[in-house]
Structure 1
């Protein structure tokens, strides 16, 4: 068979199997389609499908096919991260800066500390830290992975729970937005390459000047032109960031951050996010699954994932519980917000992909982080739904 035919077989698998499992299994309550797609990517990877059916795995996922899939996946994730950057609304966070900074700081800081402690535990055993990592990069990277909140998936889940446009949903978006900025800022610090620091500083200076000019241009053109110019800007920023030694995903995020969400119709932006998730992000999930590894032993990987999950969940809930006490929230509100901000899925997987690309973590660590992200996201809706119901009942009684 030709490479094109095998590539289409892979695409057929990518889109059919997760959908059938999600639809026929009715998993939406605990595992939305995006989570099922991530799980299917793991199952189709070398650790499961490759181990059970190595000949079939090598036939479908040959080097040329993987190269083609990786190209689609790279553009898909750049679009997704770019949209996440555009959707950040820091003006609302600034309006409520006192409450937002306390909450976001604790929501990020406590799981960061516990995740860093978990990373120190992993450092006692070989096989977890990447070949090019310094100890501080590994510890900070793992700690931040435990603290990540996936803003785009959080939006999807809050839409599902019918709280996105409510005051509670808007508050949670403010907290998540501030943490999103911090996450990518820390990633930039981790990726600082002292051999190419001149390039990185030069890129940031050029980016700052270009951003001012780009914003002036975008204000003067109609919306239909803004979409095209935005995509050109995305590709240019991704190229510049990757050339400088940061990463094309860092470039994609900052390309979106300097853009204003109100330049675009909100319904159009929602549709774009939906279509990116529908049409091309499943390819990214598959390519992510192809990077999983169980070389240090399946039990060890699952043990590391459990350790990271415990650090992430305990840290997020403790941080939001402390914020609730400081700010005088209603009883149970901190726990509810903590579970919602626990949503990880895509952003943490993207974050971990960058760490793996830069050899800061190994494939085994990446696999453990991936399992942790899936588990934490699957816990969100089942843990939040009854709490929302009790909160609504309490409000109705008053």
Structure 2
């Protein structure tokens, strides 16, 4: 007879005995349902769903779910399921880069078929003054936070572990504080109706300029820290020389047909793999392919919608989950020193981005309601900083403490944007009529 003193089998233990495929499917279902519910809640309180999905990923990490329910965490997101979910997440990240590049290639979200009717009624102005404003805002709104981040990194280096050296840490911190999330920015422009305004157009172009610069600085930080060999750095330079002419290429008018989803995903994978082989990050190749796709066919077609649904609803939550497993938000993390680190980095990040964007907008001739909004828009970091942080952490440029602190900064700056824009709508409303272009 079985012993009456045998311990009862817990639900988590029973779950762990399931077939690996069944555990993977249950884990994926749990993740997607939680993200769906959190996204709906975020919309109700005026926040982008991506913010809620990031929060869910952090909650499911080892610092919270792993600390409270270690058996459930191990059963759902342990070694049997994590590699596959991480693979889904990497595919989601490169598809996001593809879509972001396509939006830049066609000139913004109002050409993407996703903006409001009011947005699509105001096509982008072919005004060279806006082009100059994009260059100025993009450069200054990246260089000022970059400089502030480098100084913070040099000050923090004696107090934080930095296995790759203080200079690599400083460059990486400047890069992380200097980015603006183009995908989050696009969503903000759509939801606030700013896509057709000078502030919206300039913010989108400037964010693209800043993010391109951020990848270059990240490559330098990896090289300085020894994570990228001199040969790899030369390959990166060669890759840039190959990709830049492609970005200048424009196809004949009317060229292109609606792309098949399988061809889009296959082409994206090839472009990402090629850029990784050249020493660049895989997202760079997907971004360049997206720009070329947008220039070849501004009308999105069914392929863009299908890729968007696949990336947004299924694959990106897996990417966030993989990132969340790296975060440590357990009780030991919450010390006065850690809180001071988060608040200090947050203050520097917000001040540098908002001041740079708003001041440059004012100097370029925007009216006060426009340049105020421009400063707020440039401060949203979101998923772009999450991707940068993932690369830096995996390369050993930062430890888990700084990774967690910068993640909280990314979440906070993304959450600030919506409420700040609504506050400006009350304090400095935009004119009811169409706003003029730059004077």
Same fold (TM over 0.5): yes
Once the two structures are TM-superposed, the CA of residue 384 in structure 1 deviates from its matched residue by 0.7
Unaligned runs of 5+ in 1: none
CA distance in 2, matches of 1:187, 1:322: 26
Alignment of 1:27-176 (within 5 A): 28-89=44-105, 96-127=130-161, 129=162, 131=163, 133-176=164-207
1:129-163 CA deviation, whole Å, 9 max, x = no partner?
A: 3x3x2432221111121111111111111111122
1:278-302 CA deviation, whole Å, 9 max, x = no partner?
A: 2221111111111112587333444
1:194 to 218, 229, 242: 229
> SS at the partner of 2:80?
helix
1:81-115 CA deviation, whole Å, 9 max, x = no partner?
A: 12222322498697733222222222112122222
1:152-201 CA deviation, whole Å, 9 max, x = no partner?
A: 11111111112223443223222222222222232333344234337715
Q: Is the 8 A contact 2:177 2:349 kept in 1?
A: yes
CA distance in 2, matches of 1:104, 1:372: 21
Alignment of 1:369-384 (within 5 A): 369-384=406-421
CA distance in 1, matches of 2:252, 2:28: 36
Alignment of 1:201-220 (within 5 A): 204=239, 207-208=242-243, 211=246
Does structure 1 residue 285 correspond to structure 2 residue 302? no
1:117/1:271 CA distance change after superposition, 3 Å: farther
> SS at the partner of 1:60?
helix
Once the two structures are TM-superposed, the CA of residue 211 in structure 1 deviates from its matched residue by 4.8
> SS at the partner of 1:64?
coil
Q: Is the 8 A contact 2:200 2:374 kept in 1?
A: no
> SS at the partner of 2:368?
coil
1:329/1:389 CA distance change after superposition, 3 Å: same
1:119/1:201 CA distance change after superposition, 3 Å: closer
Q: Is the 8 A contact 2:130 2:198 kept in 1?
A: no
2:400 to 341, 356, 363: 363
> SS at the partner of 1:377?
helix
- Taking only aligned residues, the RMSD between alpha carbons, in angstroms, comes to 3.3
Q: Is the 8 A contact 1:93 1:175 kept in 2?
A: no
1:285/1:248 CA distance change after superposition, 3 Å: same
Q: Is the 8 A contact 2:258 2:301 kept in 1?
A: no
| Structure exhibiting the larger radius of gyration computed from Cα positions | 2
Unaligned runs of 5+ in 2: 1-17, 108-125
1:256-290 CA deviation, whole Å, 9 max, x = no partner?
A: 34544452424654664354212221111111111
> SS at the partner of 1:124?
coil
Q: Is the 8 A contact 1:317 1:334 kept in 2?
A: no
CA distance in 1, matches of 2:35, 2:230: 43
2:311 to 259, 266, 276: 276
Does structure 1 residue 249 correspond to structure 2 residue 310? no
1:14 to 24, 31, 54: 31
Query: How many residue pairs align between the two structures?
Result: 392
Once the two structures are TM-superposed, the CA of residue 3 in structure 1 deviates from its matched residue by 1.0
Does structure 1 residue 322 correspond to structure 2 residue 371? no
Once the two structures are TM-superposed, the CA of residue 124 in structure 1 deviates from its matched residue by 2.2
- If asked which structure has higher relative contact order (CA below 8 Å, sep 6+), I would say 1
Query: Which is richer in helix?
Result: 1
Q: Is the 8 A contact 1:110 1:318 kept in 2?
A: no
Q: TM-score normalised to the size of structure 2?
A: 0.79
Q: TM-score normalised to the size of structure 1?
A: 0.86
CA distance in 1, matches of 2:274, 2:323: 24
Q: Is the 8 A contact 1:111 1:146 kept in 2?
A: yes
1:181 to 187, 209, 212: 212
Larger mean Cα displacement after TM superposition, 14-23 or 220-229: 220-229
Q: Is the 8 A contact 1:345 1:373 kept in 2?
A: yes
1:263/1:55 CA distance change after superposition, 3 Å: same
Larger mean Cα displacement after TM superposition, 236-245 or 154-163: 236-245
Partner of 1:385: 422
Larger mean Cα displacement after TM superposition, 319-328 or 51-60: 319-328
